[in-house]
Structure formats: C-alpha cells, structure tokens
Amino acid sequence: MDFCRTPDPEYKPISSPIFYLCLMSEFLEQDIKFLPGVGPQRAELLKKELKIFTFNDLLYYFPYKYIDRTKFYKISEVTSTMSYIQLKGTILRFETSGEGLKQRLIAHFSDNSGVMELLWFQGIKWAKENIRTHVEYIVFGKPSVFGGKLNMVHPELEPAENKPVSTGIFQAFYNTTEKMKQKFMTSKALNKFQFNLSALIEGKIYESLPPTLISKLKLMSLPMALRQVHFPENPNLLKNALFRLKFEELFFIQLKILSLKHKRESSFKGFVFSQVGYNLNTFFNNYLPFELTNAQKKVIKEIRKDMGSGKQMNRLLQGDVGSGKTLVALMTALIAFDNGFQVSLMAPTEILAIQHYNSIKKMTDGLGIKIALLTGSTRIAKRTEIHKHLEDGSLQLLIGTHALIEDKVNFRKLGLVIVDEQHRFGVAQRAKLWKKNEFTPPHVLVMTATPIPRTLAMTVYGDLDVSVIDELPPGRKPIQTMHYHENRRKQVYDFMRDQVEAGRQVYVVYPLIKESEKLDLKNVENGFELLKQVFARYSISMVHGKMKSSDKEAEMNLFKEGKTQIMVATTVIEVGVDVPNASVMIIESAERFGLSQLHQLRGRVGRGAEQSYCLLMSSYKISNESRKRLETMVRTNDGFEIAEVDMQLRGPGDLEGTQQSGIGFTLKIANLGRDGEILQHARNQASDLLDNDPRLEKQENQILVYNLLKMKNTEFNWSSIS
C-alpha cells in the first residue's frame, strides 16, 4: 500500500501520523539545489561526490567526528603531534614563494606568545582577496611541520567577531572529497548547509517510531536527535542523540529481516524428511572417515530437526577451514536420499566443485549413490546424459558450479540445495536454484568457511538459522604463524628446503600475476623464475587466474599427486585445494592482503596430521593497520576473533558477502564493528514487537509499515532464498 497516495480509510487525514509523515517526506524530497546557499553548481557537486540529492539526504549525512571549539591554545603550546586545535590572533603579513604549480602563500600569524606560518597551496587568489592583516581571527586546523617550521596548512579562518555556526561546545565535521575542497566545499560549508536546513525543517520533523516504543525505551525524540547530532549542545545530549539514531537504523533493518522470516515460515511448507534409513546408517557405521566432533553432532541434530519439522529449512553453516563442513553436508544429503529426494551442491569455482565431487565420491564409494559433476567444462554428450538422469530421478546428487542454475537443468524431485562459499553468489543466482521446484521449495543449507562476526551475521544473515562448527577434527595441530621481513629471506628458504627434504610440500602465494609499474609488490611470474633457480633440485607448479581451466587443473593435480613439491600461485588457491601433505604456506607481500583472505590462505595447510606453518613475508615499511593485521594472524588461529578484528579495521561494508547478500541497505550512522550491543537491543525489540503483532496490523504500528515500505526493496525476497 502507498500510504501517501492511498491513505487507510480508518485514518482521519489531519490527525493521522501517516498524514504528517507524508507531508514531511514530500518536503524533505525537494532537490538539494533549492536549499539556501547551495544553488545548481554546488548541488551538482553534492550529487556527484556525496550522493546528496535531496534535503533528506543532507539531513541524514552525519558527521564523522566532533571537535571541542571552546578551547583555545597559545602558539607557544603548539606541537606538530597535536590533532585539530584552535588559535586566536592576527596575521602580521603575507608572502608568496615558488612559481606556477609550486607557488604557495605564507601568512605570518601571531598571538603575542609566538608566531607560526599558515600555508595555502591552493585557493591562493581567494585567500589574498578575503583574508586581511591586523584583523583578529579564530584559526582552526591541524599543526604540521613544513620546511623545518611549525605551520598549519589550509586552515579555517573566521573573524573573531563572527558567531560560529554551532549551538554548543562541539563542532561537527563532515567527510568531503578533494574535488569538493578545490571548490571550497569543505566540512565548514556542509556545516552551514545543515544550519540552513535546520531553520527550514523546524517543526516539520515527525516521529518514525510508535509512542509506546519511545516511552518504553526512553528514547530522545527524532526532531531533537537530528538537531543534536548536527549541532550538539553538550556531551550527554549528543550521546542520547547518537543512540536514538543508531537504534532506529538497526531496528528497522531487524524488523524487516524478522518480519520477512516470519512471513516465509508461515507461507512456505517444507518437505518432511522423516526417514533416517539405509544410506545414513550404512555410511555412519561403515564409511565415516573419522569420528564426528561434538560440534558436528550438534549441527547434524539441528539440521535433522529442521528437515523433519514440515517447514522449509534455511540454515547457515559456519565453520573454519578444515572443520568438517563437507562431511556434515554429505550426511544431510544422505538423509534426503533416504527420503527419496535429490540433492544439488553448488560451489563458486570449478576447482572447488571438482574437489567436492572427488571427496564425496571417495567417501561414498560402495554405497551405490549416483553422483555427477556439472561445470562449464562438461562436454555436451555428458550434459545430455546428466539432464536425462536428473529428470528420471536416477541421479541423486548433482555437484557443480553456476552451470547448475541453467534453465535446461531440471530435477525430478529436488529436496535439498547446498550452497558452498555462498557469499560468492548473488541473490539472483541462488534464487534460480531455489526455484527448480515448482510448488514446494527445497530445504536450503548454505555454508561458508569465512567466519562471520556475530553482528554481521545478525544483519546480513539475520533471517537464517545459524549453526557453527567451532571444533577441528581430532589429530589436527594448530598452524604456527610467523612474520618475517625481507632480510630473513635466506632463513625462510632454508626452512622451505628442510620441509621439502622431510617429504612435505609448500605453497608460495603472491598478490600479483605480473610485475606492476605502479605497485612494488612480488608477483607470480618473477617468483616462479626465482624459485626455479633457488630450488633447482625440486619440481615447481604455477597456478593463476589467467590460465586456462585445463592447465590449472593439470598443475593442481601434479601438486596433489606429489609430483611437484612447491606450488607458486595467486589467491586462486584460497578456496578449493585440499592437499593434506602441504604443510607450509608462504604469503609474499602479506601486508597487501585482508585479514579474512590471509586466514583463508593459511587454511590451505594444516589439513594433515603433521605440524604446519604459515610464514607472512612483508617489507619494513607497512601501515599501522597492516601491522595490526599481521600481528593478529600471528597471535590467533580463531577465525571468529580474526573476523571481529577485520570488521573493526575495515568496516562491514568491505567484508566479503555484504555486497552480494542482496539486502540493499547502507548504514548511515550505526557501525557493526562498534555497535553490537545496540544491534542486539534493536533485534530484541523488533522480535518482541512481532510476537505481539506478527503482521504489524495494529494502528500504532502503521507508522512502522510506512517506514518499512520506504526502505529500499530488492529484486528478490532474499529472506526466502537465503
């Protein structure tokens, strides 16, 4: 329902909160060019650089930090290590230095305690025309050292007699871009735009949450919160405003996720897998490769309960590399076979699909299960045969890549869909597999070896039931991880040689395929040539993404079969290579990799009974963030701890899976790395509210329905398709 165009007949238009929300929405959707002080040219810059198109976009463009503007420093107190500070004084004189592009303007600024230079490399003409000598200014900026002298580059200046655009002790700071700064569209300009907007919207902002929820949680009102977040009057009001806005943002996401989950569970029935018969029992008693861990037993129990409930299973299975997810997936498939259903297993790469096919074929050899492999490389005659056996029901398990979602692939009775490394598939791709059944959807088990932080799991996968395998199979030893700089390369080579002599195999991973003029990083091709010289006695394989599939597979097989001792590769081996005899992982230019990628690469070793090692090679000059990543890798093997650190360092938007998830939301103020408690609180409140009003039919909750409808809709109902 469009509440604004088709109001609920039960509402009296003038008294309805929806009526006022519609008026507010209409007002805030005005083009940003109509805001006093903006105009067409600045509006184009705001639209292009910050995606600010309307009044509403500006209102919800929040500051990234706040500076206390009540404190003034003396020049004699200033050091180059300080952050942003304020000074008050006068400019004694100007001088210019250099010519053309290297020209700079220098202002000698004094406050009677000393003199420091103010520097401009851009906007020199404007500064000369608008800044006067012997006028008292408030100067704001970050101290630095240039040419051996203390200075401040491109400071903000405000005549001391002018009242700053602020209602309290803090000034808000907004992110801008270089293009904006060149046009004098600084944080200060955005601050003025917000000030002009605040005057226009006075009395025009209405509540977006039900009064009962606001009262229950003692939340600051929305108009007050928006005012305080841009123009905070004191620390306590700012804290309450931030909580209100973060809570609301996370609450609506959780309300959408949980209401869709509730709708799915009430709308879709699932196949009832009531039988545990010959296949599972025979496999468990005679074919089990190793004793199940307690974590695996717990997960299988959760899955069996789901599949016997009469509801469609939608479960996410998380487990670190080597934790035994494939075995759990196989046992789930065996339950489907025992109940007369077919199963599909989709993997993101041909390498991983082939590995699943080989390992499952090996584990079930003798059970009489018909299994086939379908990838882009499968020949036409084989494809035709697979299609025929799928449709007549004689083919029980089809393992493959994106080829599984082709229209020609039709199952007779698909009961279970397993998706591995599911973050690598888009929602539309998963939906095609899910729709292979015309009426009743199959049970869905999605797996990932990328540990997902709790807060991200509640958001990206909040509609799924989550199972975690947090134990390694017995006999596995923790991988020892060490960090080395270039000056210890000989020591690393000696270690590699000792390991190969002991019968082990070694991976060496590089960030690039070819040498790059722009990036001073190690690359596969040069590395391959160098290692052939250093280890002339040994055979070396090379694999990278630009190779033909057949060539990659041939090289991989040589390494798997032990015919080559060293595998030189890019991150193409991050997923899908299982060589228990490989005990050493060398990662070159390790500072260039993300934490989750480093952890995935490390997981390629440690798959056998021997002690395994991961050696991280880096240059001396690395950023603090890179150093923290490498220190984390050395300190812990816990994938979930690594995932939490990764999210704190990079933010959730950069983590694998969030862009492919299909959720279609962007957090404007909340941060999943820091606001876990608020997220849990928001989820609890959303859950309680839906328990009392599952379809949001109560009049007081119509305001929530209105806001949910305003949230960006995605092409597919991602809640239904995992």
Q: pLDDT for 127-167, tens place per residue?
A: 888 888 888 888 888 898 877 788 888 888 888 776 555 55
Q: Which of 66-70, 221-225, 307-311, 448-452 is predicted most confidently?
A: 221-225
CA dist., res. 62 & res. 175, Å (int):
9
> Is the Cα torsion angle 117, 122, 124, 129 positive or negative in sign?
negative
pLDDT at 46: 92
Report pLDDT digits (tens) over 626-683: 899 999 999 998 887 888 788 777 665 544 444 334 344 578 898 877 787 898 899 9
Q: Please state, rounded to an integer, the average pLDDT across all residues of the chain.
A: 83
Instruction: Kindly report the backbone phi and psi dihedral angles of residue 264, in degrees, each rounded to the nearest multiple of 5, phi listed first.
Output: -60, -45
Q: Cα–Cα distance between 619 and 613 in angstroms, integer? A: 20
Q: How confident is the model at residue 715 (pLDDT cuts 50, 70, 90)?
A: very low
pLDDT exceeds 50 at position 254? yes
pLDDT for residue 126 is more than 70: yes
User: What is the β-pairing status of strands 104-110 and 115-120?
Assistant: antiparallel
For 529, residues 6+ apart whose C-beta sits below 8 A from its C-beta are: none
Least confident stretch, 261-270, 606-615, 622-631 = 261-270
pLDDT at 473 over 80: no
- Sheet (strand 505-509) strand order: 480-485, 613-618, 582-587, 505-509, 566-569, 540-543
- Looking at residue 696, what is its pLDDT? 87
Q: What whole-number distance in Å separates Cα of residue 311 and Cα of residue 509?
A: 45
313-352 in b/e form (b: 16+ CB < 10 A) is: bbbbbbbbbbbbbbbbbbbbbbbbbbbebbbbbbbbbbbb
Domains 72-163 and 278-469 share a fold: no
The mean pLDDT value for 2-21 works out to 50
DSSP state of 590: G
Question: What's the confidence (pLDDT) of residue 565?
Answer: 93
Q: What is the pLDDT of residues 290-305, one digit of tens each?
A: 888 899 999 999 999 9
Q: Element (H or E) spanning 342, and its range?
A: strand 342-346
The whole-angstrom separation of Cα 640 and Cα 471 is 12
Please give the class, per CATH, of domain 480-636. Answer: alpha beta
Each domain of the chain, given as residue ranges in start order, spans 72-163, 278-469, 480-636
pLDDT at position 658, please? 41
What would the mean pLDDT of 277-292 be, rounded to a whole number? Answer: 87
Query: What number of other Cβ atoms are within 10 A of residue 601's Cβ?
Result: 25
Q: Give the CATH fold of the 278-469 domain.
A: Rossmann fold (3.40.50)
pLDDT per position as a tens digit, 549-594: 788 888 888 888 889 999 998 877 655 567 888 999 999 989 988 8
Residue-wise pLDDT tens digits, 486-538: 889 999 999 999 999 999 999 999 887 655 444 445 677 888 888 888 899 99
User: What does the pLDDT read at residue 433?
Assistant: 63
What class, spelled out in words, does domain 72-163 have in CATH? mainly beta
Q: Taking the CA atoms of 287, 291, 293 and 297 in sequence, report the sign of the dihedral they define.
A: positive
Comparing C-alpha atoms, which of 270, 346, 277 is closest to residue 310? 270
Using the predicted structure, report yes or no on whether residue 397 has a pLDDT greater than 80: yes
**pLDDT score recorded for residue 512:** 76
The candidate with the shortest Cα–Cα distance to 208, out of 715, 712, 701, is 701
